[in-house]
Amino acid sequence: MHNENDQISTSAEGCLFCGSGLTYLTQAEPMSCSICQSLVMSTVRCVKGHFVCDNCHALEGNNLVEIFCANSESINPIAMATAIMHRRGIKMHGPEHHFLVPAVLITAYYNKTGQRGLINNKLKIARERAKMVPGGSCGFCGNCGAAVGTGIFMSIVLNSSPLAKEEWRLSNLMTAEALFEVARMGGPRCCKRDTWLAIKAAICFVKEHLNVTLESSDIHCSFFGKNKECLQTDCAFYPTKH
């Protein structure tokens, strides 16, 4: 475990231990987390050799997401996601977005349907399921965690399981439609862009298949300056004036 004398970076991108750039390997290697010392197979480390596991990377952000959503009465998941992503504990990229997507959708859905009492428990379920989606899955597995987050959301509100029929179908279809929107925009990854795309797909899906209308918002990205791989004018959310 790290001690109070360790210098942990608060950079929104790059290595969370020292702030340096990251390098991506073509094959996973065993790496020791520079914060908790756990040994994990990973394809990502910093150029100085540091490695931070998904649990340590997402812990602060996931706590923030859960607290924010548990106390929100909003029915606008886009507005909630944007507000959360501007908080200090949320990095530019990272697995916390895999929980953020189902969290804001769950909150908006149960607020809209008048079932606020279910939100806290459903958020905890979503957080546990989101842990199963590793960072970098967009590029290494062809399965963006933000899109998977919409399927997590749908499976929770429908009480789906591997043995369900219609609930199983809708949960997988939700992920497929969100993933299509993410893929259509193209790479490289941007957790902000992919989060917005996935949520927008879910808003349309919920209205069509569950007859529940959630609010939405226009999106004008203000994160582009922090993203070295930003698509800029090729991204639908890039501001025309900045």
Residue 46, beta-bridge partner list? 22
Domain residue limits, the chain:
1-52, 55-234
How much is the mean pLDDT over the chain?
89
Write out pLDDT tens, residues 33-81. 887 788 989 888 888 888 888 777 767 789 989 989 999 999 999 999 9
90 three-state secondary structure: coil
Task: State yes or no: pLDDT of 136 exceeds 50.
Answer: yes
CA dihedral 120, 124, 126, 131 (to 10 degrees): 160
Residue 44, beta-bridge partner list? 24
In the chain, what is the straight-line distance between the N-terminal and C-terminal CA atoms, in Å? 42
Find the mean pLDDT for residues 154-174. Answer: 98
Q: What angle do CA 209, 158, 173 make, to 5 degrees?
A: 50
**Rounded CA gap, 191 and 146, in Å?**
8
Residue 24, beta-bridge partner list? 44
The DSSP secondary-structure symbol of 234 reads G
**Rounded CA gap, 197 and 193, in Å?**
6
- Range in 25-34, 112-121, 130-139, 201-210 the model is least confident about: 25-34
pLDDT, greater one: 210 or 63: 210
Task: State yes or no: pLDDT of 115 exceeds 60.
Answer: yes
43: how many CB neighbours lie within 10 A of its CB? Answer: 17
Find the mean pLDDT for residues 225-237. Answer: 93
